[in-house]
Structure formats: C-alpha cells, structure tokens
Structure 1
C-alpha cells in the first residue's frame, strides 16, 4: 500500500511540474482569441499550426545562431577540459589541488559580474555580433564544470591501463587518445550535454554581446519577439516549444549516458 501511495504522490508531483509544459503545447496550437477567453480550452480540438509557421519564419535564424554557439561551446569546452582533467587525475600534475580550488571559485562567480568585461574585450577585438564571442563567453562558465566532472570520472580509471601503454612506448597524448578517450564516453557526453544546455539557455551573454537582431541567439530572439507580439500568444508559445525541442531531444537521447557519467565518479571501490 505504501508503494502505491508513493507512486501516486510521484505522479501528482510530476503532473504539477509538467503542467506548464502541457499548457505551452496546448496554447501553441490554439487561436489567440480562445486563449484570452474566460473558459479555458483544455484540448486543442480546433487547433492550428499558424503559430508555428509564424514562429519559424521569425525565429529560424536565431535557432541557427544558438545551434552554432552551443555546438562551438561544446567543442571548445571538451578540448580544454579533457586534457586538464587527464593531467589532474592520471598524470598527477603539480598544483592540481590549487587548480581544482580555482575551478570551484570560478563556478561561484555570477555571469553578470563577467558580462561587462566580456563586452569590453569583444568590443576591442571586433567580436560584437560574432558567434565566436558568445562561444568564448559561454565556455568560461562551462570549462570549470566539465573539468571537475571529467576528472572525477578519470580518477576511477585504473592507472595500470595507462602504465601498460607507457611501457609499450605510447606518449601521454597517445594514451589520452587511444586509452582514456574511449573509456570516457559517458563522462564526455555528460559534460558536453550540460555545456550545450547552458549555452542554449544563455540569455545574459547573448543580450550583452549582440546588438543586431540577426546575430542574436534564440533566447534573445524570444525576448524581443514577446515584446513585439504580446497579443499573439499562440505564436509566442509556439516559439517557446520550438526553442525547447533541441534540448529536450538531447536529454531523451543521452539520458542513460548522463546517468552513468554523473554516477561514474561518485562510487569508489
């Protein structure tokens, strides 16, 4: 009986948490006049995809910018975080404790504190309205998390594997590429996924480092779209659904890898 009660309570909590998602999907296919009526329509019987057509025509460019920035952030983050984690976890690089403390401190710095400095640097380098500026800015907050996540996992890889490769004449770079990298799939997917989600959902750096609407990411595009089409709620909700789809699909596809990557460094034999 207690198991059924817990299951029922879990379903109720899940339904409450997902209600906003359901209402966004429902509102995205309803005409605006039905949304502002006093009697809510719980099922979109007379739904229309006009809101999605309008959203795609106005937000398609912003989605491409966000996809470019998020993908670039993942690549740059992993290129920096994986060698750093490998050096701390497997090569026992000197000063690794100080570096780990510095990474923890870097995660505590709010993005609003760095936004002004990033704007000045991007302005001097001529990177305003350039996706590269957003990639660099987002990576500064993703690299510490990715490095800490990867090094926690790499510590669990037996050192004998690397030592056997060194005996065979492999260099540290070859060991990283041929031994460590294949064994770190789950943690790499975890770090990459969270880096992608952060860059995809970033608004602060997007609104700071872009002045042209054509170069803005989707978060900034939705913000400006809502301001211009406040009465067109079905298009606004359709825009929100479209913006959430890539992140939701990635989470569903990589769910088991993320679970394994998060718990991989948490249990020590």
Structure 2
C-alpha cells in the first residue's frame, strides 16, 4: 500500500513537472517556429506544428537590420554596468560598514525605488534630460537605466559585504592601509561573485530596456536593439517572423552571459540565504 502511494506520488510529481516544463518551453517553441516561417505561412489554419521547410531568410534579414542596434545595446549595457557598479560598490560598503539607525531607512528607500515602474519615471527623466541636452545620447540612456541598476546592486552587495569578517578590514587599517585600499584590494576581490551577479543583472536590465530607449531617443540618432525590433511593427502590418528572428538573436548574448557566469550567479544569489 505504501509503495503504491509512493508510486502515485512520484507519477503525480513527474506529471506536474512535465506540464510545467511544457508551459515554460512553449513560448520559446512559438518564437522559434514563427521565426522560420514565411509571412503567409504564419496565418495558415490550422497552424503548422513543425515547419514545412527550414527557411532562415528571416534570420539573415534580422541580423543585417539589427547588427548595429545589437552593438549599440552592448555598448549601453557595458557603460551602464560600469557606471552602476562604480556607485553601488562604495555605497554598499558604507551601508554594510556603518550600521546606524538611518541605514534601515536608506535600505527601505532603495527597496521602494525598485517597486517604481520605469514608465512612471520616463516622462520626468525626459523633461530633465531634454533641458540638460542628454536626450539621444549614450550618457542619458546609461543614467536612466542605472536608476534601476544601482538600487538592485546596492541591496545585493550589502547583503554580501555584511558577511565579510570585520577583522580583515581592521587588520589592514592597522597595517597602514587607507579605506580606499581596503575596498580596492580586499573587499572587491572577496566580493567578486556578488559583483559579477549584480553586473550581469544590470546588463540584462539595460539589454531589455524599451521604455527609456523609446522615450529618450526621440530623433532616432541612437537605436538600441529593442527599438530596432520595434520598427518591424508597422501601421498596417506586423512582421512577426522578423520580430521573432531578431528576438532569438537578441537572446543569444544574454544566454551566453548567464551560462558563462552561472557559478558566480549561483553564489551571488544565495548570499544571505543562510545565516552564519
């Protein structure tokens, strides 16, 4: 009786897991299928479950159209990571080092900023950046995207830095090291998993940003990847095969980064999960 119950529980577990896997993979399947069908084939009823032939022409067109936007988004993402971490690392170090009553207030404020959707900030940022001459510039997009990247990085890095033994800092200060030397030579190397994790997610925030890219580039001098894909949506037609082909191409760099940094991401995200 017990074995039968265990077998039924195991079967139910695999059934639920299989269903969840299908649900999660279906959007990916739909995206790939749409990208290798021609425009007339997309509207066939019943729809194709498998492509009648392998047509990669959409990928050729999408790659040709989106190569420059991909490079643009990569530059914006790299600059956003550098700018955000340059501010977040010292801020997180200070919040972890000086545990005052105001620290909790500041952390709560950072968490609240994470809850504000970018669409609410887009118009105020546009008005400020337009007066400052930062629209249609890399700097404007970097600063705008950093409004979500910096709070995330500070919260994540502070949780990691609180676990660093204070004795390391005290010993370095006794040996004559400055506070900057402690941060640069001791804290940053120790915090590499958390820093890589924060940097990766900041890059992904920037890579997938659409609201700021659309709002802060009114003349189209700078075309990030999300705007390049958006241009496939016309007034009277939508080129779904090109949109999906470009989306597949856009997901490849992000997937490669996640794979290469997997062990650092795992270590960084588990920070603070277990109290020492």
TM range (shorter): over 0.9
26-35 or 9-18, larger mean C-alpha shift: 26-35
Aligned to 1:239: 246
Aligned partners of 1:138, 1:264: CA distance in 2, in Å?
Answer: 24
Indicate yes or no: 2:96 matched with 1:89: yes
1:108 Cα deviation after fit = 2.6
Give matches, 1:1-269, under 5 Å: 1=7, 2-92=9-99, 95-227=102-234, 230=237, 232-269=239-276
CA–CA distance in structure 2, aligned partners of residues 172 and 202 of structure 1:
36
Which structure 1 residue ranges, 5 or more long, are not aligned? none
CA contact (8 A) 1:85 1:151 kept: yes
Give the drift of 1:228: 6.5
CA RMSD in angstroms, aligned pairs only: 1.9
Deviation at 1:39, TM superposition (A): 3.4
State the Cα distance separating 1:184 from its structure 2 match: 0.7
Deviation larger for 243-252 or 149-158 = 243-252
Report what 2:3 is aligned to. none
TM-score by length of 1: 0.92
Ranges in structure 2 where 5+ consecutive residues have no aligned partner:
1-6
CA distance in 1: counterparts of 2:84 and 2:236, whole angstroms: 36
Per-residue deviation, 1:175: 0.8
Per the alignment, in what secondary structure is the counterpart of residue 169 of structure 1? coil
* 1:4 Cα offset (Å): 4.7
Question: What is the aligned residue count?
Answer: 269
Hey, what's the Cα distance between the residues in 2 that align with 1:243 and 1:228? 24
1:76–1:139 contact (8 Å) kept in structure 2: yes
Q: TM-score, normalised by structure 2?
A: 0.90
Superposition deviation, residue 155 in structure 1: 0.3
Return the offset for 1:192.
0.9
User: 2: distance between equivalents of 1:261 and 1:253?
Assistant: 14
Distance in 1, matches of 2:49 and 2:205, equals 32
Query: What CA distance in whole angstroms lies between the structure 2 residues aligned with 1:203 and 1:58?
Result: 18
Aligned-residue offset at 1:258: 1.3
